[in-house]
Structure 1
């Protein structure tokens, strides 16, 4: 099953409402994925700095940050439940990630980017959203996912979104049939994976293509020939938002566009409370067509 929600705001006046709108969309899709949930928010960034999302379980977050500071230097940290958003100078990101691996192996790096914050946890989607106070978050765009685990255990690591590159994340509804073969290729290209989930492979594939010079839309177009299976992808980058369905398009999907926003939902009921939805252009995305929006 699984449920996907996504919002890309065109109207800056709506940015303070992004989290509240996305929260309702995710909670509405709870019965499509009651096992776990997650979301990525693209909010304000600071020039020359990177935000690293850490998941700290079973430990003292303040003590962990203090230990990391002894190796990396002063850190600006914001805690939301068991996730901590750490802001560092861009050139210190790799040092921070290495310090986490050495000093705090039980801490997980969930994602990082100039603007992206990524949260995910096991539990009912509405509870997960409330746990991280999603409704209070603002930003320009965001994506969310509600998971019904069918191919692996119910774990936080298996929850979506998956992030394998800076400011890049992906949510997925469906199943890839050739993900093991693609994973082997990507490992030879230097990518690493934290789970056996096929969705993480899809995220890694896009990271690789974009690292090689493709834009988001081009990378998704290339995936049509390289990734086999049935799927709906919703992808976020620092400035972009994109949707792609496989050539058969057997997974449900609906989109709405107004002068103020673009919205995606696995079902229309996820969109029905959005402002101005009555006057939106509502449509089903076509198979094998990349729908992409960029903010410049």
Structure 2
């Protein structure tokens, strides 16, 4: 069966194709009578006509498509960011295309012959910023997630209040009497981890001892790093502040292998509040990050920029969730 065209609709309604375009493009008010608009809609419905959105988008210079650049979808946090972005996009007739890195750190191969022709804008995590070079959409509106707000280039930033999350964690441990800290830091060189380290160092500068150990973002790498860091009882901390829940899980495994009890001998904290946080035993004290809200805000920021307006919004608040992995500092 031949697919009906706008010419067929025009013939059935007794109007021009231009009138059909105005009515079905919802631009008829003030230019076409309500009676004529009703005739066009009725004819389109009777014929089963559906406009060619791809052709329409090309004419309008818009694809109503956003690209979300993330390190990897194997990380639950970024899957939730996508959920939030896609929800807001759908409410505005947009789609979201994912661009994950195969190994979670470097850029994937550019999936677009021309980013400018295929996309309206880009939302990117600072942890996957290197992938932006491969996309080749330098003139596209860019919204950066969890990145340096002072950096030039992006049209908008959407950030979490990570320094406050670190401060909540440190105050919780200080209130428990901890004065010997180890920061299990991510080895990924990106702004979001830099500000966590800075906030922790500034807060503990005059109140506690702080040592830093870096690790790749895997449980095994974190376990190996922590087994070395905890091996000598003379330099062993009483509290470990981890840059995320995956590193915290590795820290907990290392402690158990060394015969240390959590939290009686060692308190451990994370950041993210992934499902992993309640899968370990004892359950993990961690900073809950509103990942879906990050995605929602990222998409709203992009829509605002595409509308020609500036985007301004405060950092998204975070919350320390206290569970069983933290407790009073052990008595010397």
TM-score after normalising by structure 1: 0.25
- Greater relative contact order: 1 or 2 (C-alpha under 8 angstroms, separation 6 or more)? 1
Q: Looking at CA atoms only, which structure, 1 or 2, has the larger radius of gyration?
A: 2
TM-score after normalising by structure 2: 0.23
Write 1 or 2 for the structure with the bigger share of helix. Answer: 2
